[in-house]
Structure 1
Amino acid sequence: MHWFQAQLTELSRLADEYAISQQQSTSNIINASEKIRLKRAEFIDAVQALVDKVGKIKGISACAAYHDGLILAQSAQLAAIDAFGATVQDSARAAQQGAALLGLGELEQIVVVGAQNKVAMLSIGPLMLCIASPKEINLASVLNRQA
């Protein structure tokens, strides 16, 4: 398994654990709340670590993670963060509607390609991981060569 795919698998596992922790009912609300908080922190820390690593890869312009259009993590050099978030939210909403109409199943990724740059949006649990790069960069290639 390539580096990036392994990272996505780990994030999906952490997202699932966080979701499960939210669904478990218990009579001890303090312990339940602490477990949820710890699972959330573990997930968010892993997201930020991945965003930092991806943002430093040669050929990647920026990386960020969003949930419902709100930023959870961003690489250091992300200009126009609000525009990036709005684009993510609008693109995801339109793609989800289209996927439902076409019977595609759960949305996994969206790629918006412009004349100069592109943004890839990958669905991971409750968030969208967004990677911006120049149009000519092969994201699969640069992401899978990292270790």
Structure 2
Amino acid sequence: MHWFQSQLAALNRLADQYARAQRPSASNIVNVSENMRLKRAEFIDAVQALVNQVGKIKGISSCAAYHDGLILARSADVSAIDAFGATVQESARAAQQGAALLGLGDVEQIVIVGTKNKLAMLNVGPLVLCISCRKEINLAAALQRNIAPP
């Protein structure tokens, strides 16, 4: 498993822990709420760290994470953030409908390739991680080879 795949696996584990912390419990509500807050903060901090690292990789233009079309984290160089979010939300909706009609199962990723750039959208727990780069860049290779410093 290369660097990026291990980062996604770690984020999925944190997302699962946060989801479990949100389930109601008969125990002390104060402790449950504190645990949920801590799990949420841990997940969001990890998302921001990954977005920052991916945004520094050579060949990647920008990286952002969205939840229901709302920005959760972004690299320093994301321009047109609202357009990014709108594209994510509309693309995800269309892909989910198409996947259901075609029996594909849950959508894992969407890639939109334009004449100049491309945008990859990957589902990670409850959010969508978006990575933008030039059309010519092999995104998988860039994410595998070019591990950005923390």
Alpha carbons 1:3, 1:146 under 8 Å: kept: no
Gaps of 5+ in 1: none
- The equivalent of 2:142 in structure 1 is 142
Report which stretch shifted further, 119-128 or 23-32. 23-32
- The equivalent of 1:131 in structure 2 is 131
Alpha carbons 1:64, 1:129 under 8 Å: kept: yes
Deviations 1:40-78 (A, max 9, x none): 000000000000000000100000000000000000000
1:111 Cα shift?
0.2
Runs of 4+ with >6 A deviation: none
Partner Cα distance (1:102, 1:141) in 2: 29
Q: Does 1:115 align with 2:115?
A: yes
1:28 Cα shift?
1.2
- The equivalent of 2:30 in structure 1 is 30
Q: Say which SS state the counterpart of residue 60 (structure 2) adopts.
A: coil
Partner Cα distance (2:54, 2:24) in 1: 33
Give the count of matched residue pairs.
Answer: 147
Partner Cα distance (1:37, 1:68) in 2: 20
Q: After superposition, where does 1:44-63 map in structure 2 within 5 Å?
A: 44-63=44-63
RMSD, matched Cα? 0.8
Deviations 1:67-105 (A, max 9, x none): 000000000000000000000000000001100111100
Alpha carbons 2:64, 2:74 under 8 Å: kept: yes
Alpha carbons 1:26, 1:32 under 8 Å: kept: no
- The equivalent of 2:2 in structure 1 is 2
Partner Cα distance (1:96, 1:112) in 2: 15
Gaps of 5+ in 2: none
- The equivalent of 1:17 in structure 2 is 17
Q: Does 1:43 align with 2:43?
A: yes
- TM-score, normalised to structure 1, is 0.98
Q: Say which SS state the counterpart of residue 129 (structure 1) adopts.
A: strand
Alpha carbons 1:4, 1:146 under 8 Å: kept: no
